[in-house]
Amino acid sequence: MSDRQSSNAYWQANLKIIYICIAIWAIVSYGFGIILRPMLAAIPIGGTDLGFWFAQQGSILIFIVLIFWYTARMNKIDAEHGVDE
């Protein structure tokens, strides 16, 4: 594989991970916290409803989990493509 092909494969893998993270975060933040909030209002969690929880805390917690997942996945991709530290 040439350097250019290797570089393109690396960035394609990187972009795929980024798109997955953005999609998950958008679904949790906008989908559960805003669009589906009325449906989730009937489910109690921690003294409030699930829709409010997602809007206020859930999306932030999911974002933090995504940061760690992205880091771990990118370390694996870096090693696969020979650009790890």
| pLDDT value, residue 77 | 93
Domain coordinates in residue numbering, the chain = 3-81
Compute the distance between CA of residue 23 and CA of residue 26 in angstroms, rounded to an integer.
Answer: 5
Element (H, E) at 46: none
Q: Which pTM value belongs to this model?
A: 0.77
Q: What is the pLDDT of residues 32-80, one digit of tens each?
A: 888 888 888 888 988 888 888 878 888 889 999 999 999 999 999 999 9
Banded pLDDT at 20 (limits 50, 70, 90) = very high
Q: What is the per-residue pLDDT for 1?
A: 62
